[in-house]
């Protein structure tokens, strides 16, 4: 049941160039841009170099944005009557959501993998090999938190343009979440409460973990990004559930 | 041994649906009792807002009733759907524009676990010629045919169609009903909602008239037409005097409309009156017509309100 659906979903994403550009090419292009032009990117940072740090940032951003875009289609397609069409078959609605999550995770995984491959090819370095895997895994799992955000926005506004806006807002979250460029002072204090801060800080933790506190770019205590990610996960889940309930009641 | 008492195809008891908004409550369906035997072709006829779509949604389990119960072939709606015994063509939406026709049919077929039906169904609904086209590029009639194909995939015993020809032109409607006739065999029960009177007249053996959330009439389509007895007889006369004499024919005749020398009459015994018109009152250009379902409908909804 699910395998055919997932296959067709991938075919649709490959035909839709627009989605593909935002999910795959944009984060990769951003890594090339930020990771290679400035002269400081070769310098050491934590257990690796600045390139590795930027690679994690862009991969995390790309994975989260892809997840939002694909998870959001659960909502817009349900509202377009596709949900009713599925409700007339044996397949339970949970399997529809499950198929979308598998597709979202795969595209997010491919997006992050592309940035990691570019990083490996252009001199992103880290002393301990396991950090590659650990960072990648945290990026992938953390991205799924943003699926709930995508579903919630889609259910709330029912339109594809709202979904585009939700993806666009991710740029904003990324900027104020300390993803694109290191924030300082008051901005950094405020950033600790924004949705992408915990996610990207956890993904960078394996790289930065051994830096002494007080040094520039040193990581927060582990509980701060963890608390941030868990809190936002709960908020997004609640948002998705409430928005879905409201949308169903209006049907 | 086969049981002699067959379950009804559809059985509704005291079915009600109230939609609540913060401001007020809307009673979309105000209590419907109904039994439809297996193999019947039934039309739900009524104007927009009569509660047809809400009733269809409750039969399919897509909307939870506020009160009452639904049984399809003795099962609850979800069980009947899972068993592939009922399916439907829904009125609005239901297709994704960027999928191809073949992909759409294929994914829904797999959701029914009936992949073997993809080929035959696409052929029978004429979709094999546009298999690779994107749904968004298909005309309204073609999209409706795709939805019809999806409904045929589980090979259902009960097929429900909600305004299946909405948005089709005359030719597409004719083609659609021709395909439909071919599918209406093997004891399949077909229930369709429509506001086209001629579709009910041409296709349904039984018509259920709905208005404002209630059933206002239910019977054989032919019987329904006879509900308004008598005929309308129209004739022209050589002079007003002839017309006046004809109008005074008797109790069985009333003047419905007078337009110069042309008069229309309601007549309970049209044959005798027509003979008299021709022989005694010098009437000419005679027209005799039976009331349409539309007349019956206006009459019945007037009575109900």
Whether B103 and A15 lie within 8 Å, measured CB to CB: no
Candidates A66, A58, A130; CA nearest to A103 is A66
Nearest CB neighbour to B107, from listed A5, A15, A81: A5
Mean pLDDT for the stretch of residues B4-28? 84
- B154 contacts on A by Cβ (under 8 Å): 89
ipTM of the shown complex: 0.84
User: What is the C-alpha to C-alpha distance for residues B215 and B44, in angstroms, rounded to an integer?
Assistant: 9
Cβ neighbourhood burial of A98 (10 Å; 0-12, 13-18, 19+)? middle
Q: Is the dihedral of CA B217, B218, B224, B229 positive or negative?
A: negative
Name the range with the highest mean pLDDT among B2-6, B58-62, B200-204, B210-214.
B58-62
**CA–CA separation, B281 and B278 (whole Å):** 6
Whether the CB-CB separation of A112 and A63 falls below 8 Å is answered with yes
The reply to whether residue A84 touches residue B81, judged by beta carbons under 8 angstroms, is no
**Within an 8 Å CB–CB cutoff, is residue A94 touching chain B?**
no
- Best mutation target, A80, A81, A85, to test chain B (most B CBs within 10 A): A85
CB B204 within 8 A of CB B42: yes
**B134 burial type by CB count under 10 A (0-12 exposed, 13-18 middle, 19+ buried):** middle
Q: Spell out the alpha helix ranges (H) of chain B.
A: 52-59, 77-82, 101-111, 118-124, 140-152, 170-183, 197-203, 221-226, 240-247, 270-279, 293-304
> Among A41-50, A117-126, B153-162, which is the least confidently predicted range?
A41-50
Provide the terminal-to-terminal Cα distance of chain A, rounded to the nearest Å: 27
Examine the pLDDT at A225 and tell me if it is beyond 80.
Answer: yes
Give the pLDDT confidence score for residue B5 in this predicted structure: 58
pTM confidence score: 0.81
- At residue A228, the 3 state secondary structure works out as helix
Q: Measured between alpha carbons, how far is residue A230 from residues A146, A174, B22, B304 in Å?
A: 12, 17, 34, 60
Nearest to A12 among B63, B92, B99 (CB): B99
Interface of A with B in 12-71 (CB under 8 A): 12, 15-16
Please choose, from the candidates B274, B287, B292, B270, the residue with its C-alpha nearest in 3D space to the C-alpha of residue B226.
B292
Residues of chain B with C-beta less than 8 angstroms from the C-beta of A77? 96
Query: How many CB atoms lie under 10 A from the CB of residue B170?
Result: 8
Using the Cβ of A1 and the Cβ atoms of chain B, whether some distance falls under 8 Å is answered with yes
The position carrying tokens 């170099």 is: A49
Residue A1, pLDDT > 80, answer no
Name residues 59-88 of chain B within 8 A of A (Cβ).
Answer: 60-63, 81-82, 84, 87-88
Taking a C-beta distance cutoff of 8 angstroms, is the pair B189, B40 a contact? yes
CA angle B140, B144, B149 (to 5 degrees): 145
Which neighbouring-strand residues pair with B100? B134
Which of B220, B183, B291, B169 is CA-nearest to residue B42?
B220
* pLDDT at residue B259 is higher than 60: yes
Facing A85 at nearest CB: one of B94, B98, B106: B94
How many helices (H) does chain B have, and how many strands (E)?
A: 11, 13
- What's the full length of chain A, in residues? 251
B94 interface with A at CB cutoff 8 Å: yes
CA distance to A60, A105, A106, B74, B95, per residue, from A113 (Å): 10, 12, 10, 53, 33
Nearest to A88 among B87, B110, B113 (CB): B87
Q: Please, what is the Cα angle at B63 between B61 and B67, to 5 degrees? A: 95
Q: Is B18 on the interface with A (CB under 8 A)?
A: no
Task: Say yes or no for a CB contact (<8 Å) between B62 and A84.
Answer: yes
User: CB distance from B96 to chain A under 8 Å?
Assistant: yes
* pLDDT for residue A202 is more than 90: yes
Torsion of CA B167, B177, A90, A245, to 10 degrees: 30
pLDDT(B301) > 80: no
Q: Which residue in chain B has the smallest CA separation from A89? A: B112
How far does the CA of residue A94 sit from the closest CA of chain B (Å)? 13
B2 confidence band (pLDDT: 50, 70, 90): very low
Three-class SS of residue B9? coil
Spatial distance between the Cα atoms of A68 and A227, rounded to a whole number of angstroms: 21
CA B274 to chain centre: 34
CA dihedral A218, A223, A226, A231 (to 10 degrees): -130
pLDDT at A251: 57
Q: Look at residue B120 and tell me whether its pLDDT is greater than 90.
A: yes
Strands B253-259 and B231-236: unpaired
Is A85–B108 a contact, with Cβ atoms under 8 angstroms apart? yes
Contact A11 B103 (CB under 8 A): yes
Give Cα B223 distance to the centre of its chain.
Answer: 15
- For position B3, what pLDDT does the model report? 47
Mean pLDDT, rounded, of chain B? 87
Average pLDDT value for residue range B56-81: 93
Kindly list the residues from chain B whose CB atom is less than 8 angstroms away from the CB atom of residue A160: none
Given a contact cutoff of 8 angstroms between Cβ atoms, the answer to whether B215 and B34 are in contact is yes
Contact residues, B window 240-299, toward A, CB-based 8 Å cutoff:
none
Please list every residue in chain B whose beta carbon sits closer than 8 Å to the beta carbon of residue A90. 81-82, 84, 111-113
**First-to-last CA distance in chain B?**
49
């Amino acid at each position: 049941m699910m395998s055919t659906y997932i296959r067709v979903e991938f075919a649709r994403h490959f035909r839709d160039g627009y989605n593909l550009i935002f999910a795959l090419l944009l984060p990769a292009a951003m890594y090339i841009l930020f990771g290679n032009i400035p002269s400081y990117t070769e310098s050491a940072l934590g257990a690796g170099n600045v390139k590795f740090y930027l690679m994690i940032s862009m991969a995390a951003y790309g994975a989260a944005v892809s997840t939002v875009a694909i998870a959001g289609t659960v909502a817009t397609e349900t509202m377009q009557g596709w949900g009713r069409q599925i409700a007339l078959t044996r397949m339970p609605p949970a399997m529809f959501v499950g198929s979308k999550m598998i597709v979202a995770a795969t595209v997010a995984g491919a997006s992050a993998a592309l940035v990691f491959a570019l990083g490996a090819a252009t001199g992103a370095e880290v002393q301990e090999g396991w950090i590659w895997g650990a960072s990648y895994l945290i990026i992938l799992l953390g991205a799924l938190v943003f699926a709930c955000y995508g579903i919630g926005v889609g259910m709330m506004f029912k339109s594809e343009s709202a979904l585009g806006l939700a993806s666009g807002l991710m740029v904003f979250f990324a900027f104020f979440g300390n993803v694109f460029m290191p924030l300082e002072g008051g901005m950094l204090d405020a950033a600790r409460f924004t949705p992408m801060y915990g996610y990207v800080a956890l993904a960078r933790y394996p790289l930065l973990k051994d830096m002494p506190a007080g040094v520039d770019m040193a990581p927060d205590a582990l509980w701060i990004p963890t608390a941030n990610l868990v809190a936002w996960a709960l908020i997004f889940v609640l948002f998705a559930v409430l928005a879905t309930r409201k949308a169903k009641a209006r049907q | 041994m086969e049981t002699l008492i067959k379950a009804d195809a559809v059985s509704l008891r005291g079915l009600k649906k109230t939609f609540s908004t913060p401001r007020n409550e809307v009673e979309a369906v105000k209590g419907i009792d109904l039994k439809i035997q297996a193999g019947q072709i039934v039309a739900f006829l009524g104007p927009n807002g009569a509660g047809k779509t809400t009733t269809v949604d409750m039969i399919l389990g897509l909307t939870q009733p506020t009160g009452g119960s639904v049984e399809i072939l003795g099962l609850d709606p979800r069980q009947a759907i899972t068993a592939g015994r009922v399916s439907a063509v829904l009125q609005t939406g239901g297709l994704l524009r960027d999928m191809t026709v073949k992909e759409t049919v294929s994914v829904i077929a797999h959701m029914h676990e009936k992949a073997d039906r993809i080929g035959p169904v696409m052929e029978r609904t004429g979709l094999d010629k546009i298999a690779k086209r994107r749904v968004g590029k298909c005309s309204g009639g073609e999209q409706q045919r795709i939805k019809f194909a999806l409904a045929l995939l589980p090979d259902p015993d009960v097929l429900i169609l909600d305004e299946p020809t909405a948005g089709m032109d005359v030719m597409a409607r004719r083609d659609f009903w021709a395909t439909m006739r071919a599918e209406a065999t093997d004891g399949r029960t077909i229930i369709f909602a429509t506001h086209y009177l001629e579709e009910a007249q041409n296709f349904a053996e039984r018509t259920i008239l709905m208005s404002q959330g209630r059933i206002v009439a239910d019977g054989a389509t032919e019987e329904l037409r006879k509900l308004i007895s008598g005929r309308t007889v129209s004739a022209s006369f050589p002079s007003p005097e002839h017309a006046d004499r004809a109008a005074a024919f008797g109790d069985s005749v009333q003047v419905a409309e007078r337009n110069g020398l042309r008069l229309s009459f309601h007549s309970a015994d049209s044959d005798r009156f027509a003979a008299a018109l021709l022989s005694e009152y010098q009437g000419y250009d005679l027209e005799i017509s039976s009331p349409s379902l539309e007349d019956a409908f206006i009459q019945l909804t007037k009575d109900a309100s």
